[in-house]
Amino acid sequence: MPIEILRGDITRLAVDAIVDAANPSLLGGGGVDGAIHRAAGPELLAECRMLGGCRTGQAKLTRGYKLPCRYVIHTVGPVWHGGLVGERRLLSSCYTNSLRLAAQHSCSSVAFPLISAGAYGYPKDQAFRVALDAIRDFLASTEREILVILVLWERADFFGADSLHKNVRRYLDAHYDDALDGNRSIAAQEIAPMPQMRAMPAAMPSLEDALRDVEESFTQMLLRMIDEKGMTDPECYKRANLDRKLFSKIRGDIHYKPRKPTALALAIALRLTLPETKELLARAGYALTHSSRSDIIVEYFILQGKYDILEINEALFSFDEPLLGGRAV
């Protein structure tokens, strides 16, 4: 299942479970913990009182009461003491233990805040990376389909500092064609499918010629490339940050027209070169353009040979651009 990154208030999400960044007493506090208790109502605290607290890195589950989610998973992140006393391992186990608990309760969607990144002082950029790594490792280790949403409360302005971000910005500044950016919506980046772009032939072709001329569809090209790269389907859709359902839809319909972020995600999963990416996109009726900031960001990663979809999404998110991948709707 894909990992999604959202900005907003976790208490409003109608997922199976939301995770609370609690303290060892589990009796409420400030930050996201306070927001969750306020939104859930006093019955949540009553149930928490019966749990006997929780150790750092561990997780416990309650019902969601007035929240739109079914469950709240309470986990206790480490307090940041400079990073040398096992903070990373403990933070990582908050995510793993919460996801394990979610799986035991058959949750298919779980939302996390950035645990420890508030009152507990964990540097946000590092907390974010630990979160993504732990979630990704867990999802890779299970057959279970769980959608995981990482919810950021504040603007992601903590991204700007690292060198990757600076390099992406430099590339973007050098290549972004402001003048052309009349409309940044994805639909605006669609172009007519390749066959329609051809000039009309002088005379009508014979049926045989016309059929020979029919281009490989997006699905056909995708499946051929998966074979050529010696990949399995799950390898491909996991690396593309797509859910299995959406991948099955694409696989099952040779005329399937994916959304542009889906097509791009598959190009990344297949580690296509820039020309190959353009060709695959064209099969779905899209182009990569320099009037789209997200296209330029993806192009940067492809040219650098960096095909980690979460890293690309982190960059897209930090520039407020739509993320790659997706799920069946």
* Minimum separation from the CB atom of position 22 to ligand AR6 (A): 5
- In terms of CB distance, is 131 or 225 closer to ligand AR6? 131
Task: Tell me which residue of 127, 30, 109, 23 sits closest to 64, measured CA to CA.
Answer: 109
| Burial class of residue 93 in the structure, from the number of CB atoms within 10 Å of its CB (0-12 exposed, 13-18 middle, 19+ buried) | buried
Binding of ligand AR6 by 156 (CB under 6 A): no
Which residues does residue 71 pair with via DSSP β-bridges, in sequence order? 17, 63
For the chain, counts of helices (H) and of strands (E) = 14, 6
How many residues form the binding site for ligand AR6 (CB under 6 A)?
A: 24
- In terms of CB distance, is 10 or 297 closer to ligand AR6? 10
Choose the binding region for ligand AR6 from 149-157, 247-255, 286-294, 318-326 (rule: CB under 6 A): 149-157
In this structure, what is the dihedral angle of CA atoms 83, 85, 86, 90, given to the nearest 10 degrees?
Answer: -90
Distance CA 150, CA 19 (A): 10
Cβ atoms 80, 109 nearer than 8 A: no
- In terms of CB distance, is 2 or 77 closer to ligand AR6? 77
Residue in 9, 16, 20, 33 annotated catalytic: 33
Q: Could you confirm whether 33 is annotated as catalytic?
A: yes
* Minimum separation from the CB atom of position 304 to ligand AR6 (A): 29
Of these, 1, 5, 10, 222, which contacts ligand AR6 (CB under 6 A)?
10
Choose the binding region for ligand AR6 from 15-23, 81-89, 161-169, 198-206 (rule: CB under 6 A): 15-23
* Minimum separation from the CB atom of position 102 to ligand AR6 (A): 17
- In terms of CB distance, is 15 or 297 closer to ligand AR6? 15
Of these, 4, 5, 19, 23, which contacts ligand AR6 (CB under 6 A)?
23
Restricting to residues 49-88, which ones interact with ligand AR6 according to CB under 6 A?
77
The two three-digit tokens of residue 313, written as one number: 């999404």
Of these, 147, 151, 242, 264, which contacts ligand AR6 (CB under 6 A)?
151
Beta strands of the chain (E only): which ranges? Answer: 3-7, 17-22, 59-63, 71-76, 109-112, 147-152
Tell me the C-alpha to C-alpha distance, in Å, between residue 99 and each of 56, 102, 313: 15, 5, 21
Binding of ligand AR6 by 113 (CB under 6 A): yes
Binding of ligand AR6 by 241 (CB under 6 A): no
Question: In the chain, helix, strand, coil percent, each to 5?
Answer: 50, 10, 40
Question: Would you name the residues annotated as active-site residues?
Answer: 33
Which residues of this chain interact with ligand AR6, rule CB under 6 A? 9-11, 21-23, 29-33, 35, 77, 113-120, 151, 153-154
